[in-house]
Structure formats: C-alpha cells, structure tokens
C-alpha cells in the first residue's frame, strides 16, 4: 500500500527546486501515481514541463499566475488576486484526494512576498492534506511552513551561470 500524505518543502537560493519536484513527479507517474502541479506566479508555455504535461498521462499542470514577473517588493493587486484564486483551487484539488501528489510550485515565494497569508496556508497544509503528498517549492520558505513540513530540502547556490552572463537556457532552465 502506498503511504502518502507528507508535506515536503524545497527551498533555498540555489537552482533546482522546481526541477527536483518534477523529478519526483516523473518517478511517481512511473509507479502509476497521479500528479498535479499548480504553478503560482507562472503562466507561460515557455516551460518545458508545461509542454510535456499534455503528452504525459498522469501529469496535470495548472498555471495560476500571469505571464509577467511579479514585483516582489510591491505586488500588484492582480498578482494577489491570482495567488488567492490559485490557492482556493489548490485547496479544492488537495481536498478532493484526486491526485496522489500536488506540487505547489513557487508557493514559498508567494507566501514570503505577501501574495498569500502564511498562517492559514500553513494550517491547511498541516491539517487538510489527507493522503495527498504535497510539495511546496520556491525561495524563502517561511519558518512556519518549514516547521510544519515532514521533509525540507534547501538548495544552496554555490555557483550559477547567470553570474557569468549566461541567460536562462531553453530545456535546461525552463
């Protein structure tokens, strides 16, 4: 029997948080599990995972942000509204128990910059998961979320190609 229902957090200033969650998704789908990734603060088909989702049974990706970058120091009302709408959708999906794993991509950033309130989100993730495994990704995971998690992985930036002027690369970084 599958023992699911843990809360995982992938955070830190290093590259690889979303990529790690997609690796988990790929592995889970190989074992017949259903995965839903809800992409906070993203809404674009430039991401390879979005292009793949329609071709891979068992993987659903729902972008709930907008195509533009969010001003993290002064978010616009539209970004707050989209994050709240996305969170309501995420709660419905998690509560439905339709998916074995739900990845909340970049929710840590949404929480840290005030697009979503930390305490109610953490409380739901602490008590409302049922048997759904939930993965929260993104920089700056709030301490309350880290405290509530069963698994926390911090990606640490040692060196990054951006510092050499190498832009985001298709198929590698997005």
Tell me the pLDDT band of 2, cut-offs 50, 70 and 90.
low
The domains found in the chain, sorted by start residue, are 7-157 (3.40.50.300)
DSSP for 70-110 reads: P-SSS--HHHHHHHHHHHHHHHHHHHHT--SEEEEETHHHH
| pLDDT, tens digit, 9 for 90 and up, residues 70-80 | 999 999 999 99
pLDDT for position 43: 74
Contact 35, 59 (CB under 8 A): yes
Q: How far is CA 112 from CA 74, 138, 139, 174, in A?
A: 12, 10, 8, 22
16, with CB counted inside 10 A (0-12, 13-18, 19+), is middle
């Amino acid at each position: 029997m599958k023992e699911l229902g843990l809360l995982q957090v992938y955070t830190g200033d290093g590259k690889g948080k979303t990529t790690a969650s997609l690796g988990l998704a790929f592995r889970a789908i190989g074992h017949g599990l259903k995965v839903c990734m809800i992409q906070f603060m993203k809404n674009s088909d430039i991401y390879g995972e979005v292009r793949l989702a329609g071709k891979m049974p068992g993987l659903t990706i729902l972008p709930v942000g907008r195509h533009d970058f969010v001003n993290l120091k002064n978010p616009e009302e539209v970004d707050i509204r989209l994050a709240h709408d996305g969170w309501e959708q995420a709660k419905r999906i998690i509560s439905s128990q339709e998916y074995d794993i739900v990845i909340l991509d970049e929710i840590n950033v949404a929480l840290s910059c005030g697009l979503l309130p930390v305490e109610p989100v953490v409380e739901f993730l602490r008590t409302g998961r049922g048997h759904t495994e939930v993965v929260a990704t993104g920089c700056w995971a709030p301490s309350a979320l880290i405290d509530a998690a069963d698994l926390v992985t911090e990606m640490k930036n040692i060196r990054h190609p951006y510092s050499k002027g190498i832009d985001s690369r298709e198929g590698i970084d997005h």
